[in-house]
Amino acid sequence: MNKSIIILTLIINMVSFVFPTGMNSRFAAGNEHYENGDYQKALEVYLEIAENTSNWKLFYNIGNSYFKTGDIVRSKINYLKAERLNPFDKSVEQNIRIADELLDNRVRLPDPDYITRTLMRFESFLTINTLSVLTLIILLILLFFIFRLFRAGRSKIHIYGILISLTLLLLLFTYHIHRVNSFHRNNQAVIVVSNSQLRSGPGEDNTILFEINPGVTIRIVDEHRNWVQVTASSEIAGWIEIKNIEKISIQ
């Protein structure tokens, strides 16, 4: 009886960890405001949810709300956040394109090559949570084989079982670490200040190479104090003050 209560508590804890209570009702309320044309109110509700939650649908709707209230740059930032959490979603991609069109932005980061794109598609399918559960299952399989080896004695099936599951476990564990790290690494940003200048080095003494408009997506290459080295396209690169950009970070 006691054991059942403990397991139930843990499951509830896990569910409430991923699905905080009341979040969906507030999300629905935000959607209602949006559909009634009260975009500002909808935005307020969405932003309140976003203080503790990161979800691609939420960011998508925040982007739409900003779009409706006329802040296209913020709109694009949120679409990019949605894209990070749900890559290759056609709706998100399309809205980014619309925002770029309205921002008159034709500066584009180079498209990823075929291999990178395939890898990205694979990663969007195999989420970090799936990977965590898979790693745990493989760990249990490995332990089962080890236990059998001790109890039932050495046999081919036990030895191969241990070797295969151990290899799989190591691969999955390493890949898990890589995925978590790459999720938290935010090297994408958007220019948010008008007439931001890209310079040849970190510091105002360096030559101005480009003046760049808000809304342009950039990739951060390096950081030095309050300056970041960025690339905006295959031809546009330089150093920019960090206050002129907003990183696409999932807090």
Partner 1 sequence: MKLYLTLILILVSILPLGSADVEFSASVDSEIIGLEDYLVYTITFKGIQNPVPPDITGIGDFNVIQTSRSSEFKFINGVSSSYVNFLYYLTPLKEGELLIPPLKYVHNNNVFKTQGFKIVAVKGSIKKTAPQKRRSLFDLDEDLSPFNSFRSAPQEIDVKLRALISKKKALIGEQLIYRILLYSRNRIESVNLISGQSFPGFWQEWYPVRKSIDGVSEVLEGKNYQVYEIRKAALFPSKMGELLIPSVRFELSLSDNSFSFFSTPRRITRSTNSIRIHVENLSANSENFPVGRLDITVKPEKHSIDINELLSIKIEVKGFGNIKTLKIPEFSSGKSFKVFPSKITRKINYKDNGIFGNVIAEVPVSFKEPGIVKIPSLEYKYYDPLESKLKVIKSRELSISVTGVREEYTSDLNHVSGGIAKIGTDIDFIMKGSIYDQKRFVYRSILFRVILVVIFAGVLSFFIYEYFIKSYILGNKKYRKKKSVQSLLKKLDGLKEYGDVFQIIEEYLEVKTGIRRSEISKSRIEDLFYSSGINKNDTEEFLRIRTETELSRFSHSTIKTISQLRIEITDLKNLIKRIDLKLK
Q: Is 152 left (phi over 0), alpha (psi -120 to 50) or beta?
A: alpha
Cβ proximity to partner 1, 64 vs 188, nearer residue: 64
List beta partners, residue 229.
222, 239
**Sign for the pseudo-dihedral over CA of 147, 145, 180, 43:** negative
Instruction: Give the nearest distance from C-beta 34 to partner 1 in angstroms.
Output: 5
User: CB of 23: closest distance to partner 1 in angstroms?
Assistant: 7
With beta carbons less than 8 A apart as the criterion, state whether 240 and 199 touch: yes
**CB closer to partner 1 out of 118 and 207:** 207
Q: Shortest Cβ distance from residue 163 to partner 1 (Å)? A: 18
Q: Is 245 left (phi over 0), alpha (psi -120 to 50) or beta?
A: beta
C-alpha angle 111-68-213 in degrees, rounded to nearest 5: 45
Report the residue number, 100 or 228, with the smaller CB distance to partner 1: 100
| Residue 118, both tokens | 């395939």
Using DSSP's 3-state secondary structure scheme, residue 177 falls into helix
Question: Least separation, in Å, of the C-beta of 242 and partner 1?
Answer: 19
- Backbone φ and ψ for 124, nearest 5 degrees, come out as -70, -25
Q: Which is nearer to partner 1, 35 or 113 (CB)?
A: 35
Beta bridge partners of 223: 228
The smaller minimum CB distance to partner 1, of residues 28 and 157, is found at 28
Which residues contribute to the site for partner 1 (CB under 8 A)? 10-11, 13-14, 17-20, 23-24, 27-28, 31, 34-35, 49, 52-58, 60-61, 64, 67-68, 85, 89-92, 94-95, 97-98, 101-102, 104, 106-107, 128-129, 132-133, 136, 139-140, 143, 146-147, 150, 176, 180, 183, 195, 197, 205, 207-213, 216, 236, 250-251
Of 90 and 154, nearer to partner 1 (C-beta) is 90
State the nearest-atom distance from the C-beta of 141 to partner 1, in Å. 12
Which CB, 214 or 229, lies closer to partner 1? 214
Count of residues for the chain?
Answer: 251
Give me the residues paired with residue 218 across strands: 189
Q: Any alpha helices (H) in 87-226, and if so which ranges?
A: 90-102, 114-125, 128-152, 156-184
> What is the smallest separation between the CB atom of 114 and partner 1, expressed in angstroms?
18
| Residue 221 C-beta: closest distance to partner 1, Å | 19
